[in-house]
Amino acid sequence: MSLSKSLGIGVVGAGFLARTRARCYRRVSGACAELLAVCSKSRGRAEAYAAEFGIEEVTTDLDALLGREEIQLVDLCVPNDLHRPFTERAAAAGKHVVCTKPLAAYVGQDLPDGASDADISGRSRERMLACAVADARAMVTACRQAGVQLMYGENWIYAPAIQRAMGLLAAGESVALEMRGWESHSGSHSPYSKVWRTNGGGALIRLAAHPIGAMLAIKAAEGRLLGGEPVRPVAVTAEVADLSRAAVRGKSPQIATGWVDVENWGCVVLHFSDGTRAVAYGSDNQLGGMESRLDIMAANAHLKCNLSPHDMLRSYAAEDGTFGDSYLMEKVATQAGWNNAMPDEDSSSGHLAMCEDFVQAALAGRPARSDGELGLEVTRVIYSAYLSAEQGGRVAIEPDVS
């Protein structure tokens, strides 16, 4: 269906992710996405962002952005501790909401003001699970009651490689028996990512959330096709660790260090209701650029999805700076030597198709492929994994009863 109406968008945040979103919204087909305003606690960053993307309205006041009638959708590119309150405020203002992953996180919300970092990270994982899931459910409920959509910013399920793989699995009536997925790089240098208070965990929630979201979507679609009901996760087994602490014994570590109270490596085994398994992990211990992969072993097929890197274009430079200030791919620190110079990272990562779907879904009044319910399920899986790591054994995942 062709849609000519334009959707007014306000972006909250002005960092790396917000810049990715802006690039993608500008490429939405039919020019039906209009970036109208940006909000950031740093006015300087917001002004620089607005200048880069031709946005007229700059504010440090979220309510001012939400008060603009011509804005119908708000994209939250903010730290995890702000997801629920900002979503509820946007929903109350009648705006559709895009929330980046994870949908919700445990950041000490059940503790009194003034709680220390140690109080927050030392909270029992069982309590963290209950709080994070309650927040995610509250976000879904707030948007439903306000009559707006909650869209979950999981780009992996929109990646061309994964979309094509899902199509092939459906055509072959294939059962995914085993999946292995991971996202890894040299580590975030954001101070928010290194403290439980603002991030709600480490590599498991920042990186492994991507393959987990894709795996849940794949098995749910498979179940609906072959049995009428989605196949869902029923248990997890997990481990987490800060492997960078061992790096001090070696010479000049180039990975990010200084993780305060979160893991820089996390691995979880997902147990599905049909008896199949999947392994997802996130790691901040890999040099040479970001790697995002998903392998699917089906009963009658084997598929390998490479989101990053891929070799559509390989570049060689004798020294750093050969290509000026050109960007090659995420988390590559130098142009020197051989690199994977990604021709269109926004497309191959799924971000472009995701933003397209979000805009068209809002305009057409249909659900987005990645919605709040998926974000709620990912939140439940991740914090069940933290509980498993704490207890040292399998943890059952109870179905949502809301």
- Considering the domain architecture, whether residues 229 and 290 belong to the same structural domain is answered as yes
- Considering the domain architecture, whether residues 134 and 182 belong to the same structural domain is answered as no
How far apart are alpha carbons 13 and 233 in whole angstroms?
Answer: 33
- For residue 215, is it within any domain? yes
Helix intervals (H) in 283-371: 345-348, 351-364
User: Which phi and psi angles does 251 have, rounded to 5°?
Assistant: -100, 130
- Considering the domain architecture, whether residues 100 and 211 belong to the same structural domain is answered as no
Q: Which residues pair with 240 in a beta bridge?
A: 266
Closest CA to 298 of 118, 111, 173: 173
User: Which phi and psi angles does 140 have, rounded to 5°?
Assistant: -60, -45
User: Which phi and psi angles does 265 have, rounded to 5°?
Assistant: -150, 135
Confidence at residue 402, expressed as pLDDT on a 0 to 100 scale: 57
Q: Which residues form the domain of 112? A: 7-154+353-371
Closest CA to 375 of 213, 142, 179: 213
pLDDT digits (tens), the chain, 402 positions: 344 489 999 999 999 999 999 999 999 988 799 999 999 999 999 999 999 999 999 999 999 999 999 999 999 999 999 999 999 999 999 999 999 999 999 999 999 999 999 999 999 999 999 999 999 999 999 999 999 999 999 999 999 999 999 999 999 999 999 999 999 999 987 888 999 999 999 999 999 999 999 999 999 999 999 989 999 999 999 999 999 999 988 888 999 999 999 999 999 999 999 999 999 999 999 999 999 999 999 999 999 999 999 989 999 999 999 999 999 998 998 999 999 998 999 999 999 999 999 999 999 999 999 999 999 999 999 999 999 999 999 999 987 765
- For residue 298, is it within any domain? yes
Closest CA to 350 of 152, 158, 153, 212: 158
Residues in the chain: 402
- For residue 401, is it within any domain? no
**Domains in the chain, number:** 2
- For residue 2, is it within any domain? no
- Considering the domain architecture, whether residues 184 and 128 belong to the same structural domain is answered as no
- Considering the domain architecture, whether residues 45 and 81 belong to the same structural domain is answered as yes
How far apart are alpha carbons 222 and 226 in whole angstroms?
Answer: 6
CATH number assigned to the domain comprising residue 167: 3.30.360.10
- Considering the domain architecture, whether residues 234 and 200 belong to the same structural domain is answered as yes
How far apart are alpha carbons 168 and 165 in whole angstroms?
Answer: 5
CATH number assigned to the domain comprising residue 23: 3.40.50.720
Q: Are 341 and 327 in contact (CB under 8 A)?
A: no
> Running DSSP on this structure, what letter comes out for residue 298?
E
Tokens 């949908």 belong to 103
- For residue 391, is it within any domain? yes
- Considering the domain architecture, whether residues 357 and 294 belong to the same structural domain is answered as no
> Running DSSP on this structure, what letter comes out for residue 244?
G
Give the global pTM: 0.94
With the C-alpha atoms ordered 36, 154, 107, 188, is the resulting torsion angle positive or negative? Answer: negative
CA 84 to chain centroid: 15
- Considering the domain architecture, whether residues 362 and 229 belong to the same structural domain is answered as no
- For residue 225, is it within any domain? yes
**Joined tokens for residue 284:** 């901040």
- Considering the domain architecture, whether residues 193 and 301 belong to the same structural domain is answered as yes
**Joined tokens for residue 265:** 């490596």
Confidence at residue 400, expressed as pLDDT on a 0 to 100 scale: 74
Confidence at residue 188, expressed as pLDDT on a 0 to 100 scale: 87
Q: Are 310 and 319 in contact (CB under 8 A)?
A: no
User: What DSSP string runs through 5-64?
Assistant: --EEEEEE--SHHHHHHHHHHHTSGGG-EEEEEEE-S-HHHHHHHHHHHT--EEES-HHH
- For residue 402, is it within any domain? no
Amino acid at 156: W
- Considering the domain architecture, whether residues 180 and 317 belong to the same structural domain is answered as yes
Helix (H/G/I), strand (E/B), else coil: 241: strand
Specify burial of residue 399 (Cβ count, 10 A radius: 0-12, 13-18, 19+). Answer: exposed
- For residue 377, is it within any domain? no
- Considering the domain architecture, whether residues 331 and 262 belong to the same structural domain is answered as yes
**Joined tokens for residue 139:** 């976000």
User: Which phi and psi angles does 337 have, rounded to 5°?
Assistant: 75, -165
Provide the b/e sequence for 236-271 (b: ≥16 CB within 10 Å): bbbbbebebeebeeeeebebbbebbbbbbbbbbbbb
- Considering the domain architecture, whether residues 293 and 388 belong to the same structural domain is answered as yes
